[in-house]
Structure 1
Amino acid sequence: MKYLKRLMLSAVLLSTLTIHAQDSREVIDNIIKEANENSQLEVLAYELLDVIGPRLVGTPQMKVAHDWAITKYSGWGIPARNEKWGEWRGWERGITHIDMVSPRVESLNGTQLAWNPSTGSKGITAEVIIIPTLKDEADFQNWLPKVKGKIVMISMMQPTGRPDYNWEKFATEASFEKMKNDRDSMTSEWNKNIARTGYNSRSISEALENAGAAGIVTSYWSRGFGANKIFSSRTKKIPTIELELEDYGMLYRLAQYGSQPKIKVVAESKELGVVPTFNTIAEIKGTEKPEEYVILSAHLDSWDGAQGATDNGTGTMVMMEAMRILKKMYPNPKRTILVGHWGSEEQGLNGSRAFVEDHPEIVANVQALFNQDNGTGRVKDISGAGFLHSYEYLTRWLHEVPREITSEIETEFPGSPSSGGSDNASFVAAGAPAFNLSSLSWDYGTYTWHTNRDTYDKIVFDDVRSNVILTAILAYMASEDPNTTSRERIILPMSRRTGEQQTWPSQRSPTRKGGID
């Protein structure tokens, strides 16, 4: 009789497991079908990138993006909210127009740097000068009065606007090597000359401003055709503009040869006082374990030299589309599936650090977090982030992802904990199993990361769609897993640099008042 009962129980369990496996396969198949046949990625990209545009923290566009995300989630039946975590210097970019007016007239390609004061609609017109070769700090101080009323160029003129891969393809080996040697020599001498001023590349702008300069011109070339890094200004009262390499080089040569070039700069930005900063949070409530969380993670903010398409418009779109599909195909998850669209990642992971600090009860119950940030490419690397048993559950979840996606992915277990770089690091530091879905490059570091070329046209939608499928299935598997993920950490190795035992990254507080004097 006992044997018969055991046999019947085994049959029931086997039947239950079979039904669950069938249900699981159906959900996964539906996720894949929805992603491929009813994708909303192009619409999301249009609305976020073309209509809203860049999303610099403290700007009206950032708040518009947060509100837009809430509207989208509400339309999908997913409750969402904006959580205030701090305040920032409010600023809005206006029209930037830069024209050379002497020795001839030509409009130049460039922009005002972030958080720089307005020139007003009339702008400023002044001669452009370069920093001469100096003997020492005293020589610089003797020259410094000459900057009064002038616009000063403070970046090295690049010897070539062709990226190295273009030289490697077309130049002779000797010519390529000569160019690189000449560039290295020029760079070394430029850095030494800046050091002889008594300042560095960051602090020299303030010295020039205090000496009465009318403006600053920079050119932070990103080593790609037409690509420049666009960050923030270091001047408080005078305009700082970033010029693309080709125009910067022309102005530099004109000044170098004594042609006394003049430019007119109109930069109509606006100061908006102190404004609140937010994270946008949306969630599909769990039915069996609602106090345990699977988190999808992507920062919503960007620098504002372009649209912020691949940093991090694509990551934002992946998480939004994954949530839409999960709500449609998996509306009653076992665990709560929460998505965080973080603010001010670019200034130091501030939004996610604030969330971790403000919600220890959520962080303590994270089943897994999946973060996507670095570009438009398909995911190619997943690390176990230093969690000793990450191999056991991540590989099991990945097994359910289509082979054509996982065949492209390299895994590293147990890996090592991230101490920065993107928002997963904020959660890892607090001990939560948080994993970065690292993408194929597509020359991200050169052409789109923080550049004036990070635009809609750089998106590879097939790769982004693949990442949606991956993310949605991982979230589903993590939610359904009968086991709670282990948080046991590896013992970190000795540092080769210091010879000391490495330690787990420590949790850091965010900057909650940014750019406010």
Structure 2
Amino acid sequence: MIRIALLCCGLVAAGIAQAPPAVVKKVIRGGGAQNTRVMEHLDQLVNGIGPRLTSSDNLTKACEWAREKFKSFGIKNARLEEWGTFPVGFNRGPWTGRMIKPEKLALEFGTPSWSPGTKGPQRGPVRIAPGDAAELRRNADQFKGAWVIAPRTMTGGLSGRRIRRQDREKLFREVGVLGVLRGTRALIITSGNKNIDWDGLPKIPTINLTGDHFKKIKSLAEDGRDVELEFDIHNNFKKGPIKLYNVIAEIKGSDKPDELVIVGGHIDSWDGATGTTDNGTGVATTLEAARLLMKAGARPKRTIRFMLWSGEEQGLLGSRAYIRQHPEENDRISAVLVHDGGTNYVSGIAATDAMYEPMQRVLKPLFDLDETMKFSVRKVRSLPYPIGSDHDSYIAVGVPGFFWNQKGRAVYRRTHHTQHDTFKAAIPEYQVHTAKVVAIASLAIANLPDKLNRTGMRRANRFSRRRIFGVRYDDKMVVTRVTEGSVAEKAGIKIKDKILRVGKTKVKDRFTLAEALKDGKVKKIVVRRGNREVTLTARFD
């Protein structure tokens, strides 16, 4: 109670009328530990609905559920807006695997999205495939009905040329293998290739085992032991076109209803777990911020729009499509605030010189909202970009997009796209705090006298669209995502590559990477792939 009173007195003393003290007080109380519903939202999304791969039935259910949530808060204009379609849908069911011989062992593994499962339980021996296609064909009887450990690359014919992925699939089907076994590290990263069509669906399952299980199986097979495995994987394709949606809900502005502050995150996820920290947590805080503002009776001067985009994991598809469909809105948007950094609490926001003073002033109530979770406005030369979330889509067209700074005890790389991205990874007190921060900040920015000044928000020599590198990585510079069609993908960078050097520059963090790439020239990039270093060429033209 004392904390609330001090915060509201501080607002009045500072002469800040942008976020009415009475509304801020109600938001703080309404989002307190006894009243919050942010974890309830998260539970319903990730446990009640589950993972939400773009093109899955679960994603459609989640979008419909979110729309109804917004409506239940009193937002009557909540709606779904179609942004595109996928030719093939994909729904992942349960999956199990076990070693039967020479010992009993439950296996930990995953399969790529948009990849086939098994036709019921499939049991067979383990065989190590040769790297030459001709040799595999000559010994087809040994591999028919087997789970195959295949080399990452295979060659074929007299030329010795590498066989393309689709030709490897055809070869394995011709031989009659049950599936292909691959090893990962302790973390199983889920990804997948959406570029499939109904008449050319993949047929051979790919099993990504944890490193220790893969090494054990391979070692036993190399020693000549009789290794037998059984997998039962329920992966199901659905004939399209599959309609895809963004979720939109608005609190209309009282003075400037045509001008916007957008608050949101992406509602889709990968489907190797339940998509909790990427990005159920951002969906939950967006919903809770909307609930808190409606319950507090907020009447923002500008419209606050809540947006939950889909298709983010495949390259920001939903947000980019929305911008293409509504280019007339761009000049009317003051700010886009995106929560997509996991469950750690929101600890600050970046602001350019032109934005810093008004942001520092109106966000002051957040500085002392919780003594254990400090908030600050960080002055930057230009807005951080590209990071790999939906605010990038807006910055690319000149709209101020913000990716919240976050701090806390959660280790994001442990859950990001991995088998550990489940409800228990979310930290309730952080979620509660972040929802209040998002609500108060969006109202404060919506009530500024003017839209945020865009001067200097994007440095052309570093951030022109053609120079977007197109990777997402953890704090050790290990790649966790490669954007389709990006410079990085064309250069041959793959998930799990560790970026070591750009030219002669040693890459220590995202800042040294950005600095090394900023001139947009052709670059030699050295990555560690497995146990070897690989040199790639990145071209930005």
TM-score (norm 2): 0.74
1:215 aligns with 2:179: yes
Give the partner amino acid of 2:429.
D
- CA shift for structure 1 position 241: 2.0
Report the Cα distance in structure 2 between the residues aligned to 1:442 and 1:205, rounded to whole angstroms: 43
1:232 aligns with 2:192: yes
8 Å CA contact retained: 1:130, 1:153 = yes
Name the counterpart of 1:379.
346
1:33 aligns with 2:29: yes
Report the Cα distance in structure 2 between the residues aligned to 1:505 and 1:100, rounded to whole angstroms: 49
Name the counterpart of 2:226.
260
Which stretch shows the higher mean deviation, 477-486 or 197-206?
A: 197-206
1:468 aligns with 2:454: no
8 Å CA contact retained: 1:375, 1:441 = no
Report the Cα distance in structure 1 between the residues aligned to 2:378 and 2:168, rounded to whole angstroms: 45
Report the Cα distance in structure 1 between the residues aligned to 2:19 and 2:436, rounded to whole angstroms: 18
Q: 1:191 to 1:145 in 2, by over 3 A?
A: closer
Report the Cα distance in structure 1 between the residues aligned to 2:163 and 2:412, rounded to whole angstroms: 24
Q: Where does structure 2 lack aligned partners over 5 or more consecutive residues?
A: 1-11, 195-200, 469-482, 485-541
Report the Cα distance in structure 1 between the residues aligned to 2:438 and 2:410, rounded to whole angstroms: 23
- CA shift for structure 1 position 445: 4.2
8 Å CA contact retained: 1:233, 1:240 = no
8 Å CA contact retained: 2:123, 2:231 = yes
SS at match of 2:124: strand
Mapping of 1:2-401 within 5 angstroms? 21=17, 24-36=20-32, 37-78=34-75, 79-88=77-86, 89-121=88-120, 123-131=121-129, 141-143=134-136, 145-146=138-139, 148-149=143-144, 150-154=146-150, 199=162, 206=169, 209=172, 212=175, 213-221=177-185, 226-232=186-192, 236-274=202-240, 275-384=242-351, 387-401=352-366
8 Å CA contact retained: 1:295, 1:366 = yes
8 Å CA contact retained: 1:430, 1:507 = no
SS at match of 1:356: helix
Q: 1:84 to 1:259 in 2, by over 3 A?
A: same
Report the Cα distance in structure 1 between the residues aligned to 2:467 and 2:29, rounded to whole angstroms: 40
8 Å CA contact retained: 2:148, 2:180 = yes
- CA shift for structure 1 position 267: 1.7
Give the partner amino acid of 2:149.
M
SS at match of 1:250: helix
Report the Cα distance in structure 1 between the residues aligned to 2:360 and 2:18, rounded to whole angstroms: 20
8 Å CA contact retained: 1:94, 1:268 = yes
TM-score (norm 1): 0.77
- CA shift for structure 1 position 83: 0.6
8 Å CA contact retained: 1:230, 1:450 = yes
- CA shift for structure 1 position 141: 4.5
- CA shift for structure 1 position 207: 6.6
Richer in helix (by share): 1
Q: 1:447 to 1:441 in 2, by over 3 A?
A: farther
- CA shift for structure 1 position 450: 0.1
Name the counterpart of 2:517.
none
**RMSD of aligned residue pairs (Cα, Å):** 3.2
Report the Cα distance in structure 2 between the residues aligned to 1:246 and 1:86, rounded to whole angstroms: 41
- CA shift for structure 1 position 342: 0.6
Q: 1:336 to 1:405 in 2, by over 3 A?
A: farther
Report the Cα distance in structure 2 between the residues aligned to 1:429 and 1:117, rounded to whole angstroms: 36
Report the Cα distance in structure 1 between the residues aligned to 2:83 and 2:395, rounded to whole angstroms: 20
Report the Cα distance in structure 1 between the residues aligned to 2:299 and 2:334, rounded to whole angstroms: 17
Report the Cα distance in structure 2 between the residues aligned to 1:21 and 1:445, rounded to whole angstroms: 37
1:428 corresponds to which of 386, 390, 395: 395
Richer in strand (by share): 2
8 Å CA contact retained: 1:154, 1:216 = yes
- CA shift for structure 1 position 367: 1.1
Report the Cα distance in structure 2 between the residues aligned to 1:41 and 1:470, rounded to whole angstroms: 13
Mapping of 1:442-481 within 5 angstroms? 442=409, 444-481=411-448
Give the partner amino acid of 1:470.
V
**Matched length:** 441
- CA shift for structure 1 position 492: 3.0
Greater relative contact order (Cα 8 A, min sep 6): structure 1 or 2?
1
Give the partner amino acid of 1:72.
K
Q: Where does structure 1 lack aligned partners over 5 or more consecutive residues?
A: 1-15, 156-189, 494-500, 512-517
Q: 1:146 to 1:348 in 2, by over 3 A?
A: farther
SS at match of 2:243: strand
Percent identity, aligned pairs only, is 29
- CA shift for structure 1 position 240: 1.4
- CA shift for structure 1 position 118: 3.6
- CA shift for structure 1 position 248: 2.0
8 Å CA contact retained: 2:356, 2:377 = no
8 Å CA contact retained: 2:183, 2:215 = no
SS at match of 1:64: helix
8 Å CA contact retained: 1:110, 1:243 = yes
Report the Cα distance in structure 1 between the residues aligned to 2:433 and 2:206, rounded to whole angstroms: 41
Report the Cα distance in structure 1 between the residues aligned to 2:29 and 2:463, rounded to whole angstroms: 44
8 Å CA contact retained: 1:96, 1:265 = yes
Report the Cα distance in structure 2 between the residues aligned to 1:355 and 1:339, rounded to whole angstroms: 14
8 Å CA contact retained: 1:417, 1:428 = no
8 Å CA contact retained: 1:297, 1:424 = no
